[in-house]
Amino acid sequence: METGSFILLAAPKNTPKEVIASLETSFKDAFDSEEFQTWVSGVGVTPNWLGVNDVQEWINTLQSETFKVMDELDL
């Protein structure tokens, strides 16, 4: 079973929305930078950006799909 890998930045549940927005903007700027894009392509990774509004749906889908595959394993 292969699920890939990812890096996820998370903050405590009650972090103020303006702090989350600032962090997201900073990390998106770094992600979009030529330096990062050059580095990430050099190490053979295909980068994908998910912002604060999309990441929870992605996590839920990944968890659901992974658990379904694990349930189907004949161990």
Which tens digit of pLDDT belongs to each residue from 8-63? 888 999 999 999 999 999 999 999 999 999 999 999 888 889 998 898 898 899 88
In a domain, 2, yes or no: no
What's the DSSP call for residue 70? H
pTM of this structure? 0.71
Burial of residue 55 (CB within 10 Å: 0-12, 13-18, 19+) is middle
In a domain, 41, yes or no: yes
Instruction: Report, in angstroms and rounded to the nearest whole number, the Rg of the chain calculated over CA atoms.
Output: 16
In a domain, 49, yes or no: yes
In a domain, 8, yes or no: no
Residue 33 domain boundaries? 17-72
In a domain, 29, yes or no: yes
In a domain, 46, yes or no: yes
- Are 62 and 3 in contact by the 8 Å Cβ rule? The answer is yes
- pLDDT score at 1: 61
What's the DSSP call for residue 15? -
Task: Give 29's Cβ-side CA count (13 Å radius).
Answer: 6
Q: Please enumerate in sequence order all residues whose Cβ is within 8 A of that of 73, keeping only pairs 6 or more positions apart, or say none.
A: 1
| Number of compact structural domains in the chain | 1
